[in-house]
Amino acid sequence: MKLCCVPLLCLAAAVSSAFVVSTPHMWTKLILTHHWPTTFCGMEHCHVNISYWTLHGLWPDKGIDCNSSWHFNSSLIEDLLPDMEKSWPDLLNPLSTGFWKYEWHKHGTCAAKAPSLNSQHKYFSKALELYHKADLDSILKKFDIIPSEQKYQFRHIEGVIENFYGVKPKIQCVQPSKNADYQILGQIEICFSPDFTPLDCEKQSTPGAFSEDWKFSGRVNRPSGFSVCDHDVPVYYPPLS
Ligand SMILES: *[C@@H]1O[C@H](CO)[C@@H](O)[C@H](O)[C@H]1NC(C)=O
Ligand SMILES: *[C@@H]1O[C@H](CO)[C@@H](O)[C@H](O)[C@H]1NC(C)=O
Ligand SMILES: *[C@@H]1O[C@H](CO)[C@@H](O)[C@H](O)[C@H]1NC(C)=O
């Protein structure tokens, strides 16, 4: 009797100690995702007059929809709304708060497992703070990467971002068609550790579900057009048409 029970006990002990040590439900990285409105609206047929990178979201690398009873309430972030409307607009539906609600439920409630992000105000204000600190638009402009008809080398864009922040970003493109000789710049992710210092995005892989995040409206039912850019294909950074 005893002999057969011992291994089970050992296993139970090993499992419980693993839980204590690594807190498996806690995220270890935050992904600050920017999208380029012209590219997004080229895919979604929306019309915006925005020629700067806008926020898509602040996503922990672990967890989705962590607390369905924690409802989004825009009056809790009233002081942030002017900045939210400018920096984190709903490109499909500019007058709606639906995008923020969606991002809160899907990602914010998971980010909120960290004390530093455990309220709607903390979550949204930290996202805005990181977005303004990253200041992606200025960095790209400063190094002469500007929306235009010319095509850029992928490595040039990646190199500028990597040199400036000191970490590897994740850059996503849209393929205009099967045999196109260029790709369209769509989304740029900068990653952060739980203490908000920049981190290589490639340290851990991101679940694929995140790339389809923009389908929040329910209006879009086809697969996401974003994928990690091909390093050898010229990149189109489209200006406002
Ligand atoms: C787009 O925005 C720019 C700068 O804010 C403005 O000068 C221009 O008139 C706007 N165009 C349209 C079509 O709204
Ligand atoms: C979920 O959110 C509700 C409402 O804010 C809160 O009372 C509850 O403690 C949360 N549950 C967890 C597991 O965080
Ligand atoms: C939203 O938050 C405000 C401020 O705390 C509160 O007065 C209001 O009741 C909340 N609304 C809902 C629907 O929970």
Distance CA 80, CA 71 (A): 17
Checking if the pLDDT of 64 tops 80, the result is yes
Domains contained in the chain, number: 1
Distance CA 217, CA 236 (A): 27
Name the residue type at position 200.
D
- For the chain, the three-class secondary structure string (H helix, E strand, C coil) is CHHHHHHHHHHHHHHHHHHHHHCCCCCCCEEEEEECHHHHHHHHCCCCCCCCCEEEEEEECCCCCCCCCCCCCHHHHHHHHHHHHHHCCCCCCCCCCHHHHHHHHHHHHHHCCCHHHCCHHHHHHHHHHHHHHHCHHHHHHHCCCCCCCCEECHHHHHHHHHHHHCCCCEEEEECCCCCCCCEEEEEEEEEECCCCCEECHHHCCCCHHHHHHHHHHCCCCCCCCEEECCCCCCEECCCCC
Pick the residue whose CA is nearest to atom 4 on ligand 2.
Answer: 70
Kindly state if the Cβ of 70 falls inside 6 Å of ligand 2: yes
**Residue among 69, 70, 72, 73 whose CB has most ligand 3 atoms within 8 A, to mutate:** 73
In a domain? residue 189: yes
Checking if the pLDDT of 218 tops 60, the result is no
Distance CA 100, CA 94 (A): 11
Catalytic residue among 34, 107, 158, 189: 107
Length of the chain, in residues: 241
The arithmetic mean of pLDDT across residues 209-227, rounded, is: 50
Protein residues with CB under 6 Å of any ligand 3 atom? 73, 75-76
In a domain? residue 10: no
Average pLDDT of the chain to the nearest whole number? 86
In a domain? residue 22: no
Burial (0-12, 13-18, 19+ Cβ within 10 Å), 139: middle
The arithmetic mean of pLDDT across residues 28-53, rounded, is: 95
In a domain? residue 16: no
Query: Is 35 annotated in the active site?
Result: no
Pick the residue whose CA is nearest to atom 11 on ligand 2.
Answer: 67
Checking if the pLDDT of 211 tops 50, the result is no
Checking if the pLDDT of 9 tops 50, the result is no
pLDDT, one tens digit per residue, over 179-206 is 889 999 999 999 999 999 999 997 544 4
Q: Which domain holds residue 189?
A: 27-236
Query: Is 107 annotated in the active site?
Result: yes
The pLDDT, as a whole number, for residue 177 is 84
The pLDDT, as a whole number, for residue 203 is 55
The pLDDT, as a whole number, for residue 188 is 98
Distance CA 154, CA 151 (A): 9
pLDDT, one tens digit per residue, over 117-173 is 999 999 999 999 999 999 999 999 999 999 999 999 999 999 999 999 999 999 999
Checking if the pLDDT of 175 tops 70, the result is yes
Pick the residue whose CA is nearest to atom 12 on ligand 2.
Answer: 67
Kindly state if the Cβ of 69 falls inside 6 Å of ligand 2: yes
The pLDDT, as a whole number, for residue 62 is 92
The pLDDT, as a whole number, for residue 59 is 97
The pLDDT, as a whole number, for residue 179 is 82
The arithmetic mean of pLDDT across residues 213-236, rounded, is: 68
Neighbours of 152 (CB within 10 A): 20
CATH number, domain with residue 122:
3.90.730.10
In a domain? residue 141: yes
Q: How confident is the model at residue 14 (pLDDT cuts 50, 70, 90)?
A: very low
Task: Give 69 Cα–ligand 2 centroid separation in angstroms.
Answer: 7
The pLDDT, as a whole number, for residue 241 is 80
The pLDDT, as a whole number, for residue 173 is 97
Asked whether 151 and 183 are in contact (CB, 8 A), the reply is: no
pLDDT, one tens digit per residue, over 77-121 is 999 999 999 999 999 998 899 999 999 999 999 999 999 999 999
Catalytic residue among 56, 105, 158, 189: 56
Ligand closest to the CA atom of residue 112: 2
